[in-house]
């Protein structure tokens, strides 16, 4: 076989060799991506639990978006979705759903994060009971809540039931009156003030309740609504919460 024939055969083989190499590289890339997808959630879960000081057995579902291998090589995930059926944040226990943007895998702050926390009537009662309002029990009636308690007139306890619409405003819980019953009688605002004076004036006016001391300082409440048996709280998360211990501690009310 002459040299020209050998060269011709080599030229014929070369595209096939190149194709095989490309296919092998593609297969390796796919395999690496699959391995990354299988392993990464556990790694990310461990980082979140460690940096936020959550219990080691905390139930936490983790899902990352996009093609992961380049993100892992770069050391930062584009988007990470975290969800749990039950977690204690500050002094409040509920389910949580959070999306974090720009998640560092080798330490550092998040670029951004936000999500929702869902709590039941008992937990919501804890939020309100920590204020100065005479509230013993909360019942949900979408979109409102009914707060029951009592106040004292000349040393005599007077039962009260107030219906209010909850919302969030500037990080605080805002309760706007809708109606009230005092001692079993339904009264309007003027009648309440006329009969009971300042002792019951809070029932007729919007009430602002600071809950910063019941949530980590790195969380800010941005929205609140009643959805069936749950209160849905929208939160904004300071990206530095994963590195700054002060943001992981409960805030303060001025």
pLDDT in tens, 85-135: 999 887 789 999 999 999 888 778 889 999 999 999 999 988 887 676 778
Gap between the Cα atoms of 136 and 154, Å rounded: 20
Sorting pLDDT into bands at 50, 70 and 90, what band is 181? confident
Domain range enclosing 151: 131-210
**Position 230 in a domain:** no
Neighbours of 106 (CB within 10 A): 7
**Position 205 in a domain:** yes
Number of domain units in the chain: 1
**Position 203 in a domain:** yes
Q: Which helix (H) or strand (E) holds 65?
A: none
Contact status, residue 131 vs residue 253, Cβ threshold 8 Å: no
Q: Is 30 helix (H, G, I), strand (E, B) or coil?
A: helix
User: So what's the pLDDT on residue 178?
Assistant: 85
User: So what's the pLDDT on residue 30?
Assistant: 53
Sorting pLDDT into bands at 50, 70 and 90, what band is 149? confident
Sorting pLDDT into bands at 50, 70 and 90, what band is 180? confident
Beta strands in the chain (DSSP E): 61-64, 76-89, 92-104, 112-119, 135-141, 144-153, 156-169, 172-182, 185-187, 207-209, 219-227, 230-237
**Position 153 in a domain:** yes
Gap between the Cα atoms of 63 and 181, Å rounded: 48
Q: Average pLDDT, whole number, for the chain?
A: 81
pTM for this predicted structure: 0.79
143: pLDDT strictly greater than 60: yes
**Position 80 in a domain:** no
6: pLDDT strictly greater than 50: no
User: So what's the pLDDT on residue 10?
Assistant: 52
User: So what's the pLDDT on residue 29?
Assistant: 54
User: So what's the pLDDT on residue 190?
Assistant: 76
**Position 38 in a domain:** no
Gap between the Cα atoms of 223 and 166, Å rounded: 10
Gap between the Cα atoms of 138 and 149, Å rounded: 9
Contact status, residue 68 vs residue 45, Cβ threshold 8 Å: no
Sorting pLDDT into bands at 50, 70 and 90, what band is 18? low
User: So what's the pLDDT on residue 117?
Assistant: 94
The secondary structure of the chain in percent helix, strand, coil, rounded to multiples of 5, reads 35, 40, 20
252: pLDDT strictly greater than 60: yes
Q: Which residues pair with 165 in a beta bridge?
A: 176
**Position 89 in a domain:** no
Gap between the Cα atoms of 225 and 128, Å rounded: 15
**Position 21 in a domain:** no
């Amino acid at each position: 076989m002459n040299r020209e024939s050998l060269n011709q055969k080599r030229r014929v083989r070369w595209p096939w060799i190149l194709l095989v190499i490309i296919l092998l590289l593609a297969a390796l890339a796919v395999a690496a991506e699959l391995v990354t997808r299988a392993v990464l959630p556990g790694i990310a879960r461990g980082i979140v639990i460690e940096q936020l000081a959550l219990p080691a057995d905390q139930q936490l579902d983790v899902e990352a978006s996009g093609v992961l291998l380049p993100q892992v090589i770069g050391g930062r995930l584009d988007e990470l979705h975290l969800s749990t059926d039950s977690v204690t944040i500050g002094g409040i226990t509920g389910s949580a759903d959070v999306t974090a943007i720009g998640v560092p895998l080798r330490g550092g702050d998040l670029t951004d994060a936000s999500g929702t926390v869902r709590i039941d009537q008992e937990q919501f009662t804890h939020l309100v009971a920590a204020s100065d309002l005479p509230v013993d029990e909360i019942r949900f009636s979408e979109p409102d809540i009914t707060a029951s308690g009592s106040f004292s007139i000349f040393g005599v306890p007077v039962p009260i039931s107030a219906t209010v619409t909850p919302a969030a405003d500037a990080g605080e819980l805002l309760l706007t009156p809708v109606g009230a019953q005092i001692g079993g009688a339904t009264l309007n605002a003027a009648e309440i003030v006329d009969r009971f004076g300042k002792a019951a004036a809070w029932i007729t006016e919007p009430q602002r309740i600071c809950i910063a001391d019941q949530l980590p300082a790195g969380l800010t409440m941005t929205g609140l609504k009643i959805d069936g048996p749950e209160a849905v709280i929208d939160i904004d998360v300071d990206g530095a919460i994963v590195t700054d211990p002060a943001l992981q501690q409960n805030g303060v009310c001025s």
